[in-house]
């Protein structure tokens, strides 16, 4: 309840918020980030924040400050916040001394009585329940697991590699639309969420290229969506190495060249130009954050908002996604 109340509060003051992002290292689940915040402060500036929440009688507030600060450092975030039921002034002063904002028990008490802590949204738990029912748990594609992995990428994969995995999520859930009424609604929720995360990642990437010409941004985006974070040169190098390795083991004439050409053809076949042309536009770039917020809001509405009832800019984004995956945009936007 405290996490939902604080999530609603941060949404109300302009942040993009994701709750319960699991931080993984290799095969290990290290910890959960209670709330992950993202905001576009200016065309040049973005802020990412981890929020640690302890709504307990013995909150161990000083320890939570150490933990939150350490997590901020590991994830290379811009700030961290500790929300605690503790009301001792020493806790707040200790946090300020170490650049950790502390929302104490008095603040939490006021927040629970404030309209800002209540919004017409489903909770994370309700969404999990929908995901389990729509996909029959792990038997039908493990939608909950996909969602958990999608949130985790917000912590450390706001890169083209992350974007390309979110594109896979978007394609997967768009293709689930049209099943039973319940599963179709949940598919839309997950499509909206995956697109929101993709837009946040593109916004974060482009923050360093706001002054570039549109053609420069287009080339950057085309290369990123086509070849990933490593770029074209490294992808081609790996392709040559793989082809050479196969050629050294298998003596079939021309096999190495065939493999290298197949890798190049696969990259060339990605319709990255569609995404690059769209996201490189100045008006789209400036609206990425706001569109992400609208998609996230639509994903959590108690009664699902259909695409035709979303804003024109959001519908345009859905249309581009449909074209990218070669789906009928008329059916998608109906």
Taken in order 108, 113, 119, 123, is the CA torsion positive or negative?
positive
Contact 103, 87 (CB under 8 A): no
Q: Which of 135-149, 182-196, 275-289, 314-328 has the lowest mean pLDDT?
A: 135-149
What does the alpha-carbon distance between residue 55 and residue 58 come to, in Å, rounded to a whole number? 9
Average pLDDT, the chain: 87
Token pair 């990428």 in the structure block, residue: 153
Mean pLDDT within 144-161 = 95
Q: How many CA atoms lie within 13 A of 48 on its CB side?
A: 19
Closest by CA position to 175, among listed 203, 125, 225, 141? 141
**pLDDT value of residue 332:** 86
Closest by CA position to 21, among listed 41, 39, 48? 48
Taken in order 18, 288, 162, 309, is the CA torsion positive or negative?
positive
**pLDDT value of residue 301:** 95
Query: In sequence order, which residues have a C-beta less than 8 Å from that of residue 218 and are 6 or more positions away?
Result: 276, 277, 280
**pLDDT value of residue 126:** 95
When pLDDT is cut at 50, 70 and 90, the band that residue 40 belongs to is: very high
DSSP, res 173:
H
Closest by CA position to 225, among listed 198, 265, 259? 198
Kindly state the percentage of the chain with pLDDT values over 90: 65
Residue 170 scores a pLDDT above 70: yes
**pLDDT value of residue 267:** 58
What does the alpha-carbon distance between residue 249 and residue 78 come to, in Å, rounded to a whole number? 49
What does the alpha-carbon distance between residue 301 and residue 22 come to, in Å, rounded to a whole number? 23
What does the alpha-carbon distance between residue 89 and residue 87 come to, in Å, rounded to a whole number? 6
Kindly state the percentage of the chain with pLDDT values over 70: 84
Phi and psi angles of residue 20, each rounded to the nearest 5 degrees, phi first:
70, 45
Token pair 């979303």 in the structure block, residue: 310
What does the alpha-carbon distance between residue 60 and residue 50 come to, in Å, rounded to a whole number? 18
Contact 320, 44 (CB under 8 A): no
Give buried/exposed letters for 119-147 (b at 16+ CB in 10 A, else e): bebbebeebeebbbebbeeeeebbbbebb
pTM of the predicted protein model: 0.88
Helix (H, G, I), strand (E, B) or coil at 58: coil
**pLDDT value of residue 116:** 75
């Amino acid at each position: 309840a405290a996490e939902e109340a604080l999530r609603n509060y941060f949404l109300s003051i302009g942040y993009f918020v994701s709750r319960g992002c699991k931080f993984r290292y290799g095969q290990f689940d290290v910890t959960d980030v209670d709330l992950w915040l993202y905001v576009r402060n200016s065309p040049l500036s973005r802020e990412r924040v981890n929020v640690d929440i302890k709504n307990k009688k013995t909150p161990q507030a000083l320890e939570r400050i150490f933990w939150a600060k350490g997590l901020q450092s590991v994830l290379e975030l811009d700030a961290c916040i500790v929300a605690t039921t503790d009301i001792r002034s020493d806790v707040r002063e200790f946090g300020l001394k170490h650049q950790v904002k502390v929302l104490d028990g008095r603040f939490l008490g006021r927040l629970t009585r404030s309209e800002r802590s209540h919004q017409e949204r489903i909770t994370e738990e309700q969404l999990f329940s929908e995901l389990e029912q729509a996909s029959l748990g792990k038997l039908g594609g493990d939608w909950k697991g996909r969602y958990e992995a999608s949130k985790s990428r917000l912590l450390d994969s706001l890169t083209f590699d992350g974007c390309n995995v979110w594109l896979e999520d978007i394609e997967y859930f768009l293709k689930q639309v049209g099943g039973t009424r319940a599963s179709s609604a949940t598919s839309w929720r997950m499509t909206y969420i995956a697109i929101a995360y993709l837009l946040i990642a593109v916004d974060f990437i482009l923050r360093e290229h706001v002054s570039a010409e549109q053609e420069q941004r287009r080339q950057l985006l085309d290369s990123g969506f086509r070849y990933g974070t490593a770029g074209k040169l490294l992808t081609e190098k790996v392709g040559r190495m793989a082809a050479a390795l196969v050629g050294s083991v298998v003596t079939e004439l021309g096999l190495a060249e065939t493999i290298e050409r197949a890798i190049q053809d696969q990259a060339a076949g990605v319709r990255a130009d569609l995404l690059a042309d769209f996201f490189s536009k100045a008006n789209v770039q400036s609206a990425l954050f706001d569109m992400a917020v609208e998609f996230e809001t639509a994903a959590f509405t108690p009664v699902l908002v259909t695409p035709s009832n979303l804003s024109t800019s959001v519908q345009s984004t859905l249309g581009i996604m449909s074209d990218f995956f070669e789906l009928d945009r008329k059916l998608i936007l109906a």
